[in-house]
């Protein structure tokens, strides 16, 4: 049940805590709905190959060049602030990338400063959860990808809201559904994680403090769908929310 959340419609002076039914009404619905600001201004960290099937998709490649060994520590990257947009904000498609990869994932939103936390206490540091669309220009190698693939403006829609942790008791077993123009194109779950949420937080904060408002994604499942300009991408995570963004051709883009 999703009955309480933090949301931030564009133009609203403050973050509001309100029943979801209320802010859905506030923001209208469908393509005419109001765009939201991202629900946090913290740093967004992406996690890669944390789904068993995503790592399995690399198969034996992990043992050959350039990887040479299976991953040991969490594989992380940063989605910089220029990428972060809210629910219903249009996302520009670069001129040189006809299709973008849609990385549907659960975002863990940190509630208090987390440094070197133990796994059995890690969830105490979580404020709540949100939906993240970690968009990429499709690229085969995860050895040393160019920033161009993940860091275009708007490549990290987040929201619509942060749903309080106590309202998501089963965060390690949530269904994630991606739809493009209303048609379901991917189903996955947070149940397939190599590092479930508490373990991921423990392993990350061993070397890197997470601050209130920071977002750590749990990683994208294998078989990420692709979408083109003109299509609307909707990511629904059970108990957490439905994040919708339309891809648009970027006018005058020299890239």
Residues 232, 91: Cα–Cα separation, whole Å? 10
Using CB under 8 A as the binding rule, whether residue 49 contacts another protein is answered as yes
Using CB under 8 A as the binding rule, whether residue 118 contacts another protein is answered as no
Using CB under 8 A as the binding rule, whether residue 14 contacts another protein is answered as no
Residues 186, 119: Cα–Cα separation, whole Å? 30
What would the two tokens of residue 159 be?
A: 């929201």
Closer residue to another protein (CB): 12 or 142: 142
Using CB under 8 A as the binding rule, whether residue 43 contacts another protein is answered as yes
25: helix, strand or coil: helix
Q: Chain centroid to CA 120: how far? A: 24
Using CB under 8 A as the binding rule, whether residue 184 contacts another protein is answered as no
Using CB under 8 A as the binding rule, whether residue 147 contacts another protein is answered as yes
Nearest to 4 by CA among 146, 161, 111: 161
Closer residue to another protein (CB): 54 or 179: 54
Minimum Å gap between C-beta 16 and another protein is 26
Residues 56-115 close enough to bind another protein by CB under 8 A: 65-69, 71-78, 80-83, 94, 115
Using CB under 8 A as the binding rule, whether residue 251 contacts another protein is answered as no
Using CB under 8 A as the binding rule, whether residue 194 contacts another protein is answered as no
Using CB under 8 A as the binding rule, whether residue 116 contacts another protein is answered as yes
Closer residue to another protein (CB): 37 or 240: 37
- Neighbour-count burial of 178, counting CB atoms closer than 10 A to its CB (0-12 exposed, 13-18 middle, 19+ buried): buried
Using CB under 8 A as the binding rule, whether residue 166 contacts another protein is answered as no
Minimum Å gap between C-beta 152 and another protein is 5
Minimum Å gap between C-beta 185 and another protein is 25
Name the residue with tokens 């050895």.
143
Q: Chain centroid to CA 56: how far? A: 21
Residues 120, 199: Cα–Cα separation, whole Å? 8
Using CB under 8 A as the binding rule, whether residue 121 contacts another protein is answered as no
* Cα 117 to Cα 112, 171, 190, distances in angstroms: 11, 19, 21
Residues 143, 71: Cα–Cα separation, whole Å? 11
Closer residue to another protein (CB): 8 or 152: 152
Residues 76, 249: Cα–Cα separation, whole Å? 29
What track of x and - describes contact with another protein for positions 196 through 215 (by CB under 8 A)? -----------xxxxx--x-
Name the residue with tokens 């373990």.
199
For another protein, the binding residues (CB under 8 A) are 43, 45, 48-49, 65-69, 71-78, 80-83, 94, 115-116, 142-148, 151-153, 207-211, 214, 253-255
């Amino acid at each position: 049940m999703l009955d309480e959340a933090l949301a931030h419609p564009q133009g609203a002076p403050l973050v509001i805590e309100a029943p979801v039914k209320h802010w859905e009404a506030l923001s209208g619905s469908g393509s005419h709905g109001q765009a939201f600001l991202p629900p946090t201004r913290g740093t967004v960290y992406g996690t890669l190959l944390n789904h068993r099937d995503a790592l399995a998709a690399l198969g034996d490649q992990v043992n050959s060049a350039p990887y040479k060994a299976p991953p040991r520590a969490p594989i992380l990257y940063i989605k910089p602030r220029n990428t972060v947009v809210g629910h219903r904000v249009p996302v520009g498609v670069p001129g040189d990338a006809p299709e973008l990869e849609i990385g549907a994932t659960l975002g863990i939103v940190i509630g208090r400063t987390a440094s070197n936390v133990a796994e059995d206490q890690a969830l105490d540091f979580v404020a709540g959860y949100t939906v993240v669309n970690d968009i990429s220009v499709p690229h085969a190698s995860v050895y040393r990808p160019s920033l161009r693939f993940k860091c275009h403006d708007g490549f990290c829609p987040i929201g619509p809201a942060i749903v309080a942790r106590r309202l998501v008791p089963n965060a390690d077993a949530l269904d994630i559904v991606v739809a493009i123009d209303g048609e379901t194109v991917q189903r996955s779950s947070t149940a397939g994680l190599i590092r479930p949420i508490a373990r991921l937080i423990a392993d990350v904060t061993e070397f890197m403090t997470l601050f209130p408002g920071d977002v750590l994604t749990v990683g994208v499942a294998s078989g990420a769908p692709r979408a083109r300009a003109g299509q609307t991408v909707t990511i629904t995570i059970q108990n957490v929310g439905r994040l919708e963004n339309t891809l648009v051709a970027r006018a005058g883009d020299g890239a």
